[in-house]
Amino acid sequence: MNDKTEIIVLVVVLVLIYTRPSALVRFSSTFIGKLILLAAVVLSSLVSPLSGLLIATLMVLYTEQNYEGFKEGLLAWNNSLIVNGEYGTGDTDIMLEYDIDNHDKITEYVTDMNAGKYDIINESLFDYQTRIKSATVEGLQIELLPDVTIKNSDLTYGSEEDITIQLMENGETNYTDVATGKFQIDATNKNKDISIFHITTDKLIYKKLKANNDLAEIKNIVGDFNPTILRVKLGNITYDIKSTKLIISVTISNGIKKEVSSTTGQKVTIVEHSHTHGHVETFEGMDGEETAEKEKDEKEGDETKDAIKNIMDNLDIDGIMDIVKKGSDKKEGFFSGEKKNVGEVAGAFAGESYESEITGVAECTTTICERIHREEQLIRPVNSNEELQRV
């Protein structure tokens, strides 16, 4: 019987390990979920050590997945995400630099972040479970050399201007036009000279390189550059570029912490947002977003509690304990190592046993003793009208 049970448990556990249902994984991170898994491990171990081991393995894997919080795709880029720029206490709008290898999927990643399912992690910068509320692809950030600026008098604010990126290829003495695009300055900056600005990458038109006659790519114009290697042409004026970076901007639920000395270059990671807590913070201008999420979390929590209560109400605890006791008295299966008790003899009913000798004057009222008494009555002498004394 235990062999069949162990096989069933093995199949179920393997299916759960392979599929890892998200609802079950999240539930296993809650207090009630952990308590139920722990109880399942203990009870199953008393019945069958192998079943207990399988359920314990499932518990460890689910717990590890909750702590890790990573998955392929969006969360695989964590090692290359760094804060771009200096930000002060309470700032909720920040820019992040990402690696060129993730550029092809950046739109997909930003769409995922806009779903509000991810937290941004850096213990020195953000509070625990600081959520990403929204994200935007900013494109290519161009930083000019320290002594180079674009004069505000050379710009037309509020309208797009043509911009050309030029590269000095190895072995060449003249610049090559490698990409052209559009450039627009926000009207709020019209009284300032600029040395850092952004252009959209999805509208860049790439030109052919001289070296191999192939079309240039985004990787040819991203990175840190020595003077005179990369420059941007606006109208008839050229400006030498110090560096270019791929940027996304994010809005977060909690601002930068107090007493942060510097934010530039700080590495951050992204993890899946946990719904195992209640959101207590509130923010103005969010149109009840936090309140709605809090109500949703509370509703899910209430539904989970109701479901667990129904399960516990319908559980036959006495029956489970009887099975456990029987399992602990007589072990079978893979870990059995059965040994027959020499102090037992077969009774009148198949498969039952009882002690060969019962001594003393105390009255025995158990089921086995009752059956012993009935057997003795059946084999007493036929001419005897006396009932044998109970023991």
Greater model confidence, 33 or 317: 33
pLDDT tens-digit map of 214-234? 999 999 999 999 988 999 998
Mean pLDDT of 61-89: 68
Q: What is the pLDDT of residue 34?
A: 81
Query: Lowest-confidence range among 25-39, 93-107, 117-131?
Result: 25-39
Q: Quick one: pLDDT at residue 378? A: 62
| Residues facing residue 294 across a β-bridge | none
* CB neighbours of residue 330 within 10 Å: 10
Residue 38 pLDDT class (50, 70, 90 cuts): confident
| Residues contacting residue 200 through CB under 8 Å, at least 6 positions apart | 139, 140, 181, 182
H helix or E strand, kind and range, residue 4: helix 2-19
Question: pLDDT band for position 16 (50/70/90)?
Answer: confident
Containing 60, the helix (H) or strand (E) segment is helix 49-68
* Highest averaged pLDDT of the listed ranges 38-52, 104-118, 201-215: 201-215
173-179 long-range contacts (CB < 8 A, ≥24 apart) are 175/231, 176/207, 176/209, 176/210, 177/207, 178/206, 178/207, 178/209, 178/216, 178/220, 178/221, 179/204, 179/205, 179/206, 179/207, 179/216, 179/221
Contact 116, 131 (CB under 8 A): yes
| Structure-model confidence comparison of residues 65 and 160, the more confident one | 160
pLDDT score of 70: 41
Of 270, 269, 273, 312, whose CA–CA distance to 296 is shortest?
Answer: 273
Higher pLDDT, 275 or 176: 176
> What confidence score (pLDDT) does residue 283 get?
42
What pLDDT does residue 348 have?
Answer: 45
Q: Does residue 187 sit in helix, strand or coil?
A: helix
pLDDT at 61: 77
pLDDT of residue 134: 93
pLDDT score for 377: 64
Q: What is the pLDDT of residue 89?
A: 93
SS3 245: strand
Give residues with Cβ within 8 angstroms of 91, minimum separation 6.
255, 256
Q: Is the pLDDT of residue 175 over 70?
A: yes
Structural contact between residues 183 and 199, judged by C-beta atoms closer than 8 angstroms: yes
Per-residue model confidence as pLDDT tens digits over 335-370? 444 555 544 444 444 444 444 444 445 566 666 667
Q: Cβ atoms within 10 A of the Cβ of 131, count?
A: 21
In this predicted structure, what is the pLDDT of residue 305?
Answer: 58
Tell me the angle at which helices 31-47 and 289-314 cross, rounded to the nearest 10 degrees: 30
Residue 83 pLDDT exceeds 90: yes
What percentage of the chain's residues is helix, strand, coil (to nearest 5)? 35, 20, 40
Answer whether residue 286 shows pLDDT above 50: no
Say what the pLDDT of residue 208 is. Answer: 94
Q: Is 101 helix (H, G, I), strand (E, B) or coil?
A: helix
Q: Does 22 score more than 90 pLDDT?
A: no
Beta bridge partners of 150: 194
Categorize the per-residue pLDDT at 69 as very low, low, confident or very high, splitting at 50, 70 and 90.
very low
Q: How far apart are CA 316 and CA 369, in angstroms?
A: 28
Average pLDDT over residues 84-97: 93
In percent, the amount of the chain with pLDDT more than 70 equals 61
Distances in whole angstroms, Cα of residue 23 to Cα of each of 34, 304, 309, 326, 337: 14, 11, 18, 34, 40
Residue 122 has pLDDT above 60, yes or no: yes
**100-104, 110-114, 197-201, 362-366: range with lowest mean pLDDT:** 362-366
Residues 119-148, mean pLDDT to the nearest whole number:
91
Q: Where are the beta strands (DSSP E) in the chain?
A: 82-84, 93-98, 118-121, 130-144, 161-167, 176-183, 196-199, 205-206, 223-224, 230-234, 237-252, 269-272, 344-346, 353-355
Of residues 70, 84, 54, 39, the one with CA closest to residue 250: 84
